[in-house]
Structure 1
Amino acid sequence: MDIEAAKTGSNVAVLLSLSGGFLDAFTYIAHGRVFANSMTGNIVLLAVNLATGDWQQASRHISPIVGFACGVLAAHLLQLMTPRWVRHPAIVSLMFEIVFLGTASLRGLPEFWLIPGISFVATLQTMFFTHSGKVSYTSVVTTGNLRRCIQLFFESLIPGRDRARLHDAVVLGSISLSFALGAVMGGLTTRRLHDAALCVPAAFLLAALLDICRRR
């Protein structure tokens, strides 16, 4: 069964991408150089550490991958339950992510639960929030957004000017820039606040949730 994704405006996409970039920087700096969102990065680093015999560091990259897999499963189960009691699974997943990050920032969580937990909620986010208007994007990694942005930019100019494609390129460019800005903020804030820094992405997500509710 396909996931029913939420289509939102560019404001929400930017806020979600700020959070996505922040969380990757947070886990990399504060928790053993693992990525919250980028499973490609985790798999590459896992392989490199295994190749060099660094078993302890290699094991750190397993838990976010497990959290990612559980997030995909949870998104599927939420979708299956939609007709009964979960009318808007995307909003439910976003509320859960806000509560999880807010709790982790205030009370702290053992790393055993924190890293896969962040990967889990971030995966829910990327499973349910996939479109800004008609433009598809992902809020937790930026490679695809950046590639599509550059592609649309050139397509909007060659062979002739296409305003629709140029608009979509600008949207994806803004999302990519937001991810990078979120990572910068995550790097600066995490060094000062450590786990308490998670209140920042929680605030981004809360703002996104309020914007979604206001538009509904």
Structure 2
Amino acid sequence: MEREKVNNKMSESFILAILLAMVGGFLDAYTYCCRDKVFANAQTGNIVRVGITLANGEYMKTFRYFIPIIAFSLGVLITMYIRDNNNTHLHWRQVILLFEAIIIIIVSLMPIQTYLNIVSNIMISFLCAMQAESFKKVLGKPFSSTMCTGNLRRGTEYLYNVLKNNDIRVFKNVKYYFLIIISFILGAVLGRISSNYFFEKAILLTLIPLFYSIFIMINSSKKIKNSVEYNGK
């Protein structure tokens, strides 16, 4: 139980939030630049398009926009299943990041073609759902690594409290949220630039922050284990 608490604390660390926000921004830029100008991270746009296409009687397009929504929902469900049934020596969040890496490699092998773009966007929607469900807090506070609206709202709320109450201690929360947003933007910049040079293979660059995140979590777990063994002597 104590190890699980520490693992949860590590998964809520600021460095992990920064790394995963960069991945989120990169993926949004990648799907927009390489995969038919679609934002695959958040599903609000797809839900709106479902309504618009239904109103226009464009039922085939409705189906096209509905599939990523289903993929996102499946990503959440499978993540929760892995969380409750993980039998590996890895923490379940590390397993999720490994799943993400596998999906990224598969997407990188798909040429930029209309139908393959649809498939790749569905897979990225699935991936983003897994990440969003697995990493929902930073330093004990809610955050999202795959979209910025909630982060912007919370950061602005804290800024208002700083201005209203003149409590400079709260400013650190403003800083955290806006640094996460900046990291998301940086990821988007890198996604846009790399897509110009590497096309569908650009997504492989997200493996760097993903594997570094896994390394951080594993290294933290080892330190915890060594500390427990040392104190038990």
TM-score, with length taken from structure 2: 0.80
- Cα distance in 2 between the residues matched to 1:149 and 1:47: 31
Partner of 1:170: 175
Aligned residues: 210
Partner of 2:26: 22
Partner of 1:134: 140
TM-score, with length taken from structure 1: 0.86
- Cα distance in 2 between the residues matched to 1:145 and 1:120: 21
Query: Could you tell me which amino acid in structure 1 is paired with residue 101 of structure 2?
Result: I
Match among 88, 97, 100 for residue 97 of structure 1 = 100
Could you tell me whether the CA contact under 8 Å between 1:34 and 1:60 is conserved in 2? no
Larger radius of gyration: 2
Could you tell me whether the CA contact under 8 Å between 1:67 and 1:116 is conserved in 2? yes
Query: Could you tell me which amino acid in structure 2 is paired with residue 186 of structure 1?
Result: G
Give the 3 Å change call, closer, same or farther, for CA 124–86 of structure 1 in structure 2.
farther
Query: Could you tell me which amino acid in structure 1 is paired with residue 178 of structure 2?
Result: G
- Structure 1 runs, 4 residues or longer, greater than 6 Å off: none
Q: Tell whether 2:206 aligns with 1:201.
A: yes
Identity of aligned residues (%): 29
Could you tell me whether the CA contact under 8 Å between 1:19 and 1:182 is conserved in 2? yes
Deviations 1:159-200 (A, max 9, x none): 23141x211111111111111221222222223322101112
Give the 3 Å change call, closer, same or farther, for CA 86–45 of structure 1 in structure 2.
farther
1:147: Cα distance to partner? 0.5
Could you tell me whether the CA contact under 8 Å between 1:50 and 1:58 is conserved in 2? yes
- Cα distance in 2 between the residues matched to 1:177 and 1:49: 34
CA RMSD of the aligned region, Å? 2.3
Q: Tell whether 2:158 aligns with 1:152.
A: yes
Deviations 1:122-149 (A, max 9, x none): 1111111112222221100100000100
Could you tell me whether the CA contact under 8 Å between 1:35 and 1:64 is conserved in 2? no
Residues 24-39 of structure 1 mapped to structure 2, 5 A cutoff? 24-39=28-43
Give the 3 Å change call, closer, same or farther, for CA 58–22 of structure 1 in structure 2.
farther
1:42: Cα distance to partner? 1.7
1:56: Cα distance to partner? 5.4
